[in-house]
Amino acid sequence: MIGNSFYRDTWAEIDLSAIEENILSMKHHIGSSVDLIAVVKANAYGHGDAQVANTALSAGAAMLAVAFLDEALALRNQGITAPILILGAVPPEAVKTCADQKLTVTAYSNEWLNAAVPYLEGATLLFHMKIDSGMGRIGLKTENEVLEMTRLANSHENLHLKGVYTHFATADELDTAYFQKQLTCFKTLIRSLPLDDILVHSSNSAAGLRHKDSLFNAVRFGISMYGLSPSEEMKSLLPFPLRQAFTLHTKLVHVKKIAKGESVSYGATYTAKQDEWLGTMPIGYADGWLRKLSGSEVLIDGIRQKTAGRICMDQMMVTLPEALPVGTKVTLIGTQGDEMITIDEIASRLDTINYEIPCTITSRVPRMFLKNGSIMEIRNSLLSDV
């Protein structure tokens, strides 16, 4: 059995045309002298790594970025040969694998680079130097450390410095003071480097959309490639409209009438106030539809309906206006008619950020990839070897 089919009546739809459009808009915004690095870590924020990567590359992305080595290897295993930057720490013992697979690693301390060199066995390592300008995660913090790493690279001909970058902590906030402080720090720390010959990048989506002065010659485009605003407060500042790519759907698998006074689901927390129709849907918290969403709304026939009782591991219930047929489509994220439930709405219900929502929808939910409205591919990780 291969992973291009599924039987369960729950699936996510990934609109690759929306991703393509968001990338083309961003490329137009940053101009042709700035490279776009498509950030496809975490299975492309839950959307599907290889499918998003291929869409991004054909829309003109120059490079891909992932969080760690295994994610990069997963892309290589799916036939992707484009340059890939690994943003997080790679164990020094694993750098030979990176070199063999032509993956670009992040050198974030001289201790790390010194430890890595012996494991290369002479193979050529491509790396970007990471500056910690105020995020406090990984990276060099002083000019001396930068000079030392440059010296180290110059003394090993198999160490190739291909880029330098930093990451902003507050680029999505209206107050720009901390952002400016980081930008100044970055510019100061990199002034000894051959900036015309390497990739220099500081911007995530938020900075790339807002701050032309932080573009340098590449931008790391993540959340907004998927059509989501980096924050609520940035929504009014977006230079072009974004199109959300991720929607989530299920179907009614059982419909019945319950009598006034009957209760629904674990804890019997919902009790019918009158005789009413109830539908059961095959989705639950093991799919990432978290229990905290109990009582939230779904779309059926273009109308918002309230879910009833606690969300179970694999199922949940919804009150219906009438006896709807089994098989009726239910949209948990997305549009039906004039109504839309956005990822931002779900994030707000969960007191979190939109980034978390598609990442949280587990691999148990098959992904259906659409282009111009047609199904291109289905990925069901339960029935697949990749």
Q: Is 137 annotated as a binding residue?
A: yes
Binding site for ligand PLP (CB under 6 A): 39, 41, 87, 167, 204-206, 220-223, 230
Type of residue at 72: A
**Phi, psi (deg, nearest 5) at residue 140:** -80, 140
Comparing CB distances to ligand PLP, the nearer of 230 and 309 is 230
Decide if 193 contacts 164 (C-beta within 8 A). yes
Q: Is 313 annotated as a binding residue?
A: yes
Comparing CB distances to ligand PLP, the nearer of 55 and 265 is 55
Comparing CB distances to ligand PLP, the nearer of 2 and 174 is 174
Active-site annotation holds for 178 = no
CB of 42 to ligand PLP, least distance (A): 8
Type of residue at 207: A
Q: Which of 235, 257, 266, 306 is catalytic?
A: 266
Give the residue nearest to ligand PLP (CB): 222
Structure tokens at 335: 């549009």
CB of 291 to ligand PLP, least distance (A): 27
CB of 301 to ligand PLP, least distance (A): 34
CB of 267 to ligand PLP, least distance (A): 37
Structure tokens at 150: 């440059």
Q: Which of 145, 134, 80, 74 is nearest to 107 (CA)?
A: 145
Active-site annotation holds for 260 = no
Q: Which of 27, 41, 187, 251 is catalytic?
A: 41
CA distance 104 to 309: 49
Comparing CB distances to ligand PLP, the nearer of 84 and 223 is 223
| Residues noted as catalytic | 41, 266
Query: Binding site membership for substrate: which residues?
Result: 137, 313
